[in-house]
Amino acid sequence: MGLTIASSLKFCLQVIGASWFVFPTFVFSVAIPESVDVVVVGAGLAGLTAAKDLLAGGKSVLILEARNRVGGKILNRPLKNGGVTEVGAEFVGPTQDKELGLKTFTTYNEGSNILYRSNSRTEYVSDPPLGVPPVDLLALQQVAAAQAQLDAWAGEINVTAPWMHPKAKDWDNITFAQYIALSAFFPDAKFLLDIVSKTLFAAESKEISLFYVIQYIASAGNETTKGSLSRLTSTPGGSQESRVEGGTGLIPQRLAEKVGLNRIAFNAAVACITKTAAGYEIKSKAGTIKAKKIILALSPPLINKIAFSPALPFARQQLNGLTKMGSIGKGIAVYDSPFWRASKLNAQVISDKGTTRATFDNTPVDASYGALMGFILGDQMRAFDAKSEAEIQTAIVSDYVRYFGDKAAKPTEFIVQRWDLEGFSLGAPVAVAPPRVLSIYGPALRKPVGGIHFAGTETADYWVGYMDGAIRSGQRVAKEILALL
Ligand SMILES: Cc1cc2nc3c(=O)[nH]c(=O)nc-3n(C[C@H](O)[C@H](O)[C@H](O)COP(=O)(O)OP(=O)(O)OC[C@H]3O[C@@H](n4cnc5c(N)ncnc54)[C@H](O)[C@@H]3O)c2cc1C
């Protein structure tokens, strides 16, 4: 589990120099102070939100961020044509209530979707909430019944402690794939629910437990609206409903400005956390600092890369070690115009073949150029982890030609982002749990260990796995600490 003490000490001894950051056009370095009230590990949305709230509460804070940028799994990439594209988080939707402070616009949804199944391409009009792909009617009935059952179970879940549900352990004994095999076994039904697994978790249905899926559905709502599967999967009325003008990358940038760049140390991967008489000593690549409290604003599998003295409790170690990040990438093809719109296509595809099996129109709000975005998910991502970007481009462009015709063959630019290969993410969008993890070790998810508190989207009550959940987790953990300090 994680680093051995010997190897992590070696890493700790490699503590070097100042941290440097380009944000967005100048280089910034932070001197690490001797001590602060709270050290936040990670400058994703969770860590930035927690820092902002703690500062508002009068506490001194330093964020230690491993990368040379803020945002974690949120990232705007500049394009050659002067635009930007989001290679991480992109969409927002109803019941994701946390204020972003930015303008949003509706995800392009005019015209038909495409189903590519058994080597056949069919256009169809998606009818909210789930849309009705033109597949076998009996299979659709099975999917509808499974959806109603999953929603009903999710409706019984207490989102602050899903593991308290009397059936949690039973649900956690089987994979989502086993549930599908029992409840929605017609080939088309299995295809649709497997795609749900891929698109929500970037994981195959055989990799995640049924209980994990149920609690995730429960979290797709807010204090007044229960979570539902269709809110997760839908474009209108669901979590893909809207996009952010200028790209979601602006959200962490704005938050970082509020926190103050002088309170964020970059290139500061934390390697060791040691309990002392007065609090904690935190060793990072950018220097050592003392703090009364620590917030770990990271996905559980990344916490496992930090050496703790004394060790974290067994349940927390198990949670960190047994959950794993989904496998996800994005392939974004840029064109002079969104040519598919003229053919009355909204660019939303589901497919059983190819490298990208779920796509969206990624064009900016002013449609000054066109962009197709395809997710590379689960097994398809892993198959390409070791391939070159050129090979991925060839594979994805050929998918786009199958879906959208010959005009897709010659993008003006092609962007590939592989989150699996990012050492400070290890995959995305969220840490998923196989059977017999969450029902057993779940209570450790938000439980502080001494002065160490846990944030990150995985620890949210609502919108686990999403930006909204990350913000909620940051707010919750700041409150927790302000009540103590
Ligand atoms: C391809 C993709 C698509 C997505 N789509 C959506 C979407 O459409 N809508 C949506 O709401 N969400 C989406 N998400 C999920 C969303 O990005 C995350 O839920 C959210 O950004 C998580 O924020 P966080 O602060 O919890 O974690 P992170 O963003 O992972 O932040 C953790 C930070 O900790 C840092 N770190 C790691 N290890 C260390 C260490 N040892 N020391 C110091 N720092 C460390 C990391 O560099 C990172 O900055 C998507 C994600 C991806 C990748």
Q: What tokens were used for 106? A: 């509706």
d(CA 141, CA 146) in angstroms, rounded, equals: 9
CA–centroid distance, residue 456 to ligand 1 (Å): 8
Residues in contact with ligand 1 by the CB-under-6-Å rule are 41-47, 64-67, 72-74, 88-91, 269-270, 297-299, 302, 305-306, 328, 330, 419, 424-425, 428-429, 456-457, 465-468, 470
Phi, psi angles (nearest 5°) of residue 287: 145, 175
**Which atom of ligand 1 lies nearest, measured to the CA of 306?**
41
Q: Give the per-residue pLDDT at 204.
A: 98
Q: Whose CA is nearest to atom 3 of ligand 1?
A: 89
* 375 labelled binding-site residue: yes
271 is in an annotated binding site: no
> Is 349 one of the annotated binding-site residues?
no
Q: What angle do CA 254, 305, 30 make, to 5 degrees?
A: 40
Burial of 479 (0-12, 13-18, 19+ CB in 10 A): middle
Kind plus residue range of the DSSP H or E element containing 70:
none
Residue nearest to atom 33 of ligand 1 (CA): 42
Write out the chain's pLDDT in tens, 485 residues.
233 333 333 334 333 333 333 444 344 568 899 999 999 999 999 999 999 999 999 999 999 999 999 999 999 999 999 999 999 999 999 999 877 789 999 999 999 999 999 999 999 988 654 557 889 999 999 999 999 999 999 999 999 999 999 999 999 999 999 999 999 999 999 999 999 999 999 999 999 999 999 999 999 999 999 999 999 999 999 999 999 999 999 999 999 999 999 999 999 999 999 999 999 999 999 999 999 999 999 999 999 999 999 999 999 999 999 999 999 999 999 999 999 999 999 999 999 999 999 999 999 999 999 999 999 999 999 999 999 999 999 999 999 999 999 999 999 999 999 999 999 999 999 999 999 999 999 999 999 999 999 999 999 999 999 999 999 999 999 999 999 99
Closest by Cα among 74, 75, 67 to 423: 67
* Residue 176 token pair: 């989502």
CB 397 within 8 A of CB 411: yes
pLDDT one-digit tens code per residue, 348-377: 999 999 999 999 999 999 999 999 999 999
Structure confidence by residue, pLDDT tens digits, 18-73: 333 344 434 456 889 999 999 999 999 999 999 999 999 999 999 999 999 999 99
Closest Cα to atom 49 of ligand 1: 72
Within 8 A by CB and 6+ apart from 59, the residues are 36, 37, 38, 481, 482, 485
How many whole angstroms from 331 Cα to the centroid of ligand 1? 18
Q: Mark out the alpha helices in 329-466 (DSSP H runs).
A: 379-384, 389-404, 438-441
Please give the number of the atom of ligand 1 that sits closest to the Cα of 284.
Answer: 42
270 is in an annotated binding site: yes
Give the per-residue pLDDT at 10. 35
Instruction: Find the helix packing angle between 176-183 and 210-218, rounded to 10°.
Output: 90
Pocket test for ligand 1, best of 68, 73, 243 (most atoms within 8 A of CB): 73
51 annotated binding-site participant = no
What local confidence, expressed as pLDDT, does residue 126 receive? 83
Counting atoms of ligand 1 from 1, which one is nearest the CA of 67? Answer: 47
Q: What is the DSSP string of 397-444?
A: HHHHHHHH-GGGG--SEEEEEEGGG-TTTSS-S-EE--TTTHHHHGGG
Q: Rounded to a whole number, what is the distance in angstroms from the first to the last CA of the chain?
A: 32
Could you tell me the domains of the chain?
A: 5-72+249-312+449-482 (3.50.50.60), 91-108+327-421 (3.90.660.10)
Distance in angstroms (rounded) separating the CA atoms of residues 56 and 61: 11
pLDDT at 101: 80
Compute CA distances 152 → 38, 218, 295, 442, whole Å. Answer: 41, 9, 35, 21
Residue bearing tokens 């009617």:
137
Nearest CA to 331 out of 249, 275, 289, 387 is that of 387
